[in-house]
Amino acid sequence: MTVQLGRVAVIGLGLIGCSWVKALREAGAVQSVAGFDRNLDSMQQAQHVGIIDDYSEQLAEVAADADFIIVSVPIKAVREVLAQLQPVVKASAILTDVGSVKGSVADDVAATFGPQFDRFVLGHPIAGSERSGVEAADASLYQRHKVIITPQPHTDAQALQTVIAAWQLAGADIEQMEVRHHDEVLAATSHLPHLLAYNLVDTLASRDENQEIFNYAAGGFRDFTRIAASSPIMWRDIFSANREQILAVLDMFQHDLSQLRQSIERDDQTQVMGVLTRAKVARDHFSKMLARRAYVEPMKTATITYVATPGQALSGQFRVPGDKSISHRSIMLGSLAKGVTEVSGFLEGEDSLATLQAFRDMGVVIEGPHRGRVTVHGVGMHGLQPPPGPLYLGNSGTSMRLLAGLMAGQKFSVEMTGDESLSKRPMGRVADPLALMGASVDTADGGRPPMRIRGGAELRGIHYDLPMASAQVKSCLLLAGLYAEGETSVTEPAPTRDHTERMLKGFGYEVQVEGSTATVTGGGELTACDIDVPADISSAAFFMVAASIMPGSDITLEHVGINPTRIGVINILKAMGGHIEVLNEREVGGEPVADIRIRSAQLKGIHIPEDQVPLAIDEFPALFVAAACAEGETILTGAEELRVKESDRIQAMVDGLVTLGVDAKGTDDGAVIQGMGADGQFGGGDIVTYHDHRIAMSFAVASLRGSAPIRILDCANVATSFPNFVELANGCGMSVAVVEEEA
Ligand code: S3P
């Protein structure tokens, strides 16, 4: 970038102006710099250290021949400075400032130069330091810091571009805003916090016992009040110059503070907890909060590649994270229940956290998760509140489909969005039957997200024959049925996971299950209960396959959920000759669990029974790897649903296996895989995962039997279901290195 500013004048030789000039000098963007300050010492020193070339005690002399004038004086001194500049500046000169309030400077410029003066560009660098003055000047002060420019309709375009370029030379990131908006945002994010900090210190310091307070006021007091050591003159000026916006945000704060006071007075711990948990989450995402949007938004994740190399025989006894399906449902039903639901074993993966955040966005107080413990303060069936923005559900199809059912019964409207993968997944399968119930649901083209659900619909119960075996669709309709007039019944073509039915019963809601039909009657209530989430059999499946295919392996997976609608992977591996023992069977909170011991075995190819497909629907990526290591051919049919998961899992797995040298073919509803047999090894290569967590983990498992490293691309989404996968994998004998790059 080549910018030549010519002769620069800097009025006010403080940290902010001097740092900018220093950076401009280093970039070679100035011919010479003249300086002015009320303080002669500052001018002499600035000249001595080479920030300015010359100075004068007459402001007019400094400004008269300048091409680029930086006004960096306290806000309340701006008008006086402008009045002195106005008669002398060249017509071609560009003027700019660095003040924290833009409205008052805009007024000052209009009052001195006239309302249409177009050569003054208003700017505000969001940077500073507790140090001040010429000696603190630092050319890198603005590197990667924001500078807000607030152009006005009449601002000259070339002057604007020059000022922007001059800030960019200092390494700043430029944002443009309207003057008024800038002052509103800064009132909330900077001016109010300073005001409170000064006020708190003053309140405490003026008490008789102040010595005590300061002796013991370590952490909290120190953190909260650090900014009260800033320059009083500067802040007096800011509070005055931006008083309208500061008063508005102060009123809001006073209102909320007095509500919090009342909650404490009444000892209403739920309300207090609500403020604290919301604030904590918002603090973690505070930049989002400024825009008053939903608290969780798409995150810019790093690109994560796994480099998986051949491992050793697996050994050990461990527990994989909590069941994803049950974790989602615990938050949903806990939120709508009366009373407090305590959840343990909750999956702290991004998918279930997306559900948790959605309910926080709708006003539910949820403590945790902390080591798998979550406390949900239920608001009752009709206690949800409109969220502040669209509900962002990340990668999670379960969140969106189940929530669609619940949202259809609310008084308020909601929009639900997701990441790139979720945005491609079919939602018509829930939108269509919900419409039959009287809901008003819009999707984007092709029945894809975002989904918009209009509030206030009167739902009526229907009977629905599911066109596909989908627990998500079944659950969506049963949840909508809680809000519908009369009975809602769903018949499924094959058994699918029944966690919704079981958990509803656990919350005291009657569900009739007869054969393949589940029925609920609307208008009931949920009563809070405790939920112990078992380990997820879908996560356990990776280790079941890993131990099966790696000779000499012997591992035990603890406390795994073995709900009969989920154990397809055990049945299929056993049918292939796997050594799997289900030990210590017991029931926790309405769900059967067991410890599962797996020893290596030479698997053989089979035609997978179609009735097992819905019972192992998420486990096929791992089972494809098992099939590739088996003796003989494995045939999968009746599994077309795999094509609409987080990726087209048939295509993704077949392509990956072929890359590694396996003879595999996809079919419309499944695949045919020729096993490599006892001595077979996978080759090396790059695997495209399509950002699908289960594809990534499956190929990490395959590497156990690799002859060369396998590079598995785009693995960040493993965190959606199995955040500690790599740790557990490496702990039991696999060898997976994580390579992380900024996206
Ligand atoms: C799930 C149901 C299944 C499964 C998903 C979780 C659930 O989806 O693939 O990971 O929690 O209800 P479908 O119902 O679409 O088969």
Q: CA 338 → CA 343, 432, 453, 500, 532, distances in Å?
A: 15, 31, 25, 18, 19
Tell me, what's the pLDDT at 296?
43
Distance from the Cα of residue 39 to its chain's centroid? 49
Four-CA torsion 698, 700, 701, 706, nearest 10 degrees: 120
Q: Is the pLDDT of residue 45 over 60?
A: yes
Nearest CA to ligand 1 atom 4: 618
Q: Please, which pLDDT band fits residue 712 given cuts at 50, 70 and 90?
A: very high
**C-alpha 559 to ligand 1 mean position (Å):** 21
**C-alpha 496 to ligand 1 mean position (Å):** 8
Number of other residues whose CB lies within 10 A of the CB of residue 437: 25
β pairing state of 463-465 and 448-454: unpaired
CA distance 97 to 116: 17
Percent of the chain with pLDDT over 70: 96
Nearest CA to ligand 1 atom 11: 325
Tell me, what's the pLDDT at 611?
97
Is any atom of ligand 1 closer than 6 Å to the C-beta of 398? yes
Q: Is the pLDDT of residue 437 over 90?
A: yes
**C-alpha 626 to ligand 1 mean position (Å):** 22
**C-alpha 470 to ligand 1 mean position (Å):** 6
Which of 196, 531, 516 minimizes the C-alpha distance to 332? 531
Is any atom of ligand 1 closer than 6 Å to the C-beta of 720? no
Cis peptide before 450 (omega within 30 of 0): yes
Q: Could you give the residue numbers annotated as active site?
A: 618
Q: Is the pLDDT of residue 396 over 50?
A: yes
Q: Is the pLDDT of residue 67 over 70?
A: yes
- For residues 347-370, one letter each, b for 16 or more C-beta atoms within 10 angstroms of the residue's C-beta and e for the rest, the string is bbbbbbbbbbbbbbbbbbbbbbbe
Best residue for ligand 1 mutational test, from 324, 328, 350, 470 (most atoms within 8 Å of Cβ): 470
Q: Is the pLDDT of residue 698 over 90?
A: yes
Q: CA 527 → CA 372, 382, 509, distances in Å?
A: 22, 13, 8
Q: Are residues 189 and 173 in the same domain?
A: no
Number of the ligand 1 atom closest to the C-alpha atom of 470? 14
Could you tell me where the beta strands, DSSP code E, fall in 3-86?
A: 7-11, 32-36, 54-55, 68-71
Q: Return the DSSP state at 425.
A: S
Is any atom of ligand 1 closer than 6 Å to the C-beta of 395? no
Q: Are residues 402 and 481 in the same domain?
A: yes
The boundaries of the domain holding residue 360 are 326-527
Contact 295, 288 (CB under 8 A): yes
Tell me, what's the pLDDT at 295?
46
Show which of 127, 161, 177 is a domain's final residue.
177
Nearest CA to ligand 1 atom 16: 470
Tell me, what's the pLDDT at 286?
57
Tokens 């809001």, located at residue: 252
Residue 291: inside a domain: no
**685: number of CA atoms within 13 Å, CB side?**
16
Best residue for ligand 1 mutational test, from 325, 399, 537 (most atoms within 8 Å of Cβ): 325
Tell me, what's the pLDDT at 290?
42
Instruction: Give 88-131 pLDDT, tens digit per residue.
Output: 999 999 999 999 999 999 999 999 999 999 999 999 999 876 67
Number of the ligand 1 atom closest to the C-alpha atom of 474? 14
Tell me, what's the pLDDT at 306?
97
Tell me, what's the pLDDT at 638?
97
Q: Is the pLDDT of residue 58 over 90?
A: yes
Nearest CA to ligand 1 atom 13: 470
Tell me, what's the pLDDT at 218?
65
Which of 456, 487, 504, 193 minimizes the C-alpha distance to 333? 504
CA distance 393 to 351: 7
Residue 728: inside a domain: yes
Number of the ligand 1 atom closest to the C-alpha atom of 641? 16
Lowest mean pLDDT among 19-23, 73-77, 508-512: 73-77
Q: Are residues 383 and 518 in the same domain?
A: yes
Number of other residues whose CB lies within 10 A of the CB of residue 291: 11
Residue 281: inside a domain: no
**CATH number for 230:** 1.10.3660.10
**C-alpha 329 to ligand 1 mean position (Å):** 12
Number of the ligand 1 atom closest to the C-alpha atom of 429? 15
Tell me, what's the pLDDT at 278?
80
Is any atom of ligand 1 closer than 6 Å to the C-beta of 245? no
Tell me, what's the pLDDT at 346?
97
Q: Please, which pLDDT band fits residue 1 given cuts at 50, 70 and 90?
A: low
Tell me, what's the pLDDT at 285?
61
Tell me, what's the pLDDT at 208?
67
Q: Are residues 380 and 446 in the same domain?
A: yes
Q: Is the pLDDT of residue 289 over 50?
A: no
Q: Are residues 622 and 664 in the same domain?
A: yes
Q: Please, which pLDDT band fits residue 277 given cuts at 50, 70 and 90?
A: confident
Residue 282: inside a domain: no
Percent of the chain with pLDDT over 90: 86
Q: Please, which pLDDT band fits residue 225 given cuts at 50, 70 and 90?
A: confident
Indicate the SS3 state at residue 304: strand
Tell me, what's the pLDDT at 223?
83
Best residue for ligand 1 mutational test, from 330, 425, 472 (most atoms within 8 Å of Cβ): 472
Q: Are residues 572 and 691 in the same domain?
A: yes
Tokens, residue 353: 């956290």
Is any atom of ligand 1 closer than 6 Å to the C-beta of 640? no
Q: Please, which pLDDT band fits residue 639 given cuts at 50, 70 and 90?
A: very high
* Torsion 42-48-52-55 (CA) sign: positive
Is any atom of ligand 1 closer than 6 Å to the C-beta of 417? no
Residue 288: inside a domain: no
Lowest mean pLDDT among 194-198, 200-204, 496-500: 200-204
**C-alpha 401 to ligand 1 mean position (Å):** 9
Mean per-residue pLDDT of the chain: 94
Q: Are residues 551 and 519 in the same domain?
A: no
For 65, residues 6+ apart whose C-beta sits below 8 A from its C-beta are 7, 90
Q: Are residues 256 and 312 in the same domain?
A: no
**C-alpha 29 to ligand 1 mean position (Å):** 60
Residue 643: inside a domain: yes
Best residue for ligand 1 mutational test, from 326, 352, 618, 717 (most atoms within 8 Å of Cβ): 618
Q: Are residues 34 and 145 in the same domain?
A: yes
Is any atom of ligand 1 closer than 6 Å to the C-beta of 539? no
Number of the ligand 1 atom closest to the C-alpha atom of 617? 9
Tokens 């090396």, located at residue: 684
Residue 619: inside a domain: yes
Show which of 117, 152, 177 is a domain's final residue.
177
Is any atom of ligand 1 closer than 6 Å to the C-beta of 618? yes
Is any atom of ligand 1 closer than 6 Å to the C-beta of 186? no
- For residues 569-607, one letter each, b for 16 or more C-beta atoms within 10 angstroms of the residue's C-beta and e for the rest, the string is bbbbbeebebbbeeeeeeebbbbbbbbbbbbbbbbbbbe
Tell me, what's the pLDDT at 226?
85
Show which of 468, 497, 527 is a domain's final residue.
527
More confident residue, 362 or 291: 362
**CATH number for 508:** 3.65.10.10
Is any atom of ligand 1 closer than 6 Å to the C-beta of 410? no
**C-alpha 440 to ligand 1 mean position (Å):** 24
Tell me, what's the pLDDT at 293?
45
Q: Are residues 173 and 191 in the same domain?
A: no
Tell me, what's the pLDDT at 393?
94
CA distance 622 to 262: 55
CA distance 225 to 474: 54
More confident residue, 271 or 295: 271
Residue 194: inside a domain: yes
- Report the DSSP beta bridge partners of residue 739: 305
**C-alpha 396 to ligand 1 mean position (Å):** 10
Could you tell me where the beta strands, DSSP code E, fall in 507-627?
A: 512-514, 517-521, 530-532, 554-561, 579-588, 591-599
Best residue for ligand 1 mutational test, from 497, 646, 647, 721 (most atoms within 8 Å of Cβ): 497
Instruction: Give 666-684 pLDDT, tens digit per residue.
Output: 999 999 999 999 999 999 9
Tokens 């900024």, located at residue: 742
Number of the ligand 1 atom closest to the C-alpha atom of 469? 16
Name residue 274's amino acid: G
Instruction: Give 454-480 pLDDT, tens digit per residue.
Output: 999 999 999 999 999 999 999 999 999
Number of other residues whose CB lies within 10 A of the CB of residue 257: 12
Tell me, what's the pLDDT at 230?
84
- What domain count does the chain have? 4
Q: Are residues 362 and 395 in the same domain?
A: yes
Q: Please, which pLDDT band fits residue 291 given cuts at 50, 70 and 90?
A: very low
Instruction: Give 494-521 pLDDT, tens digit per residue.
Output: 999 999 999 999 999 999 999 999 999 9
**C-alpha 324 to ligand 1 mean position (Å):** 10
Instruction: Give 207-224 pLDDT, tens digit per residue.
Output: 766 677 677 666 788 888
Q: Are residues 375 and 474 in the same domain?
A: yes
Q: Please, which pLDDT band fits residue 288 given cuts at 50, 70 and 90?
A: very low
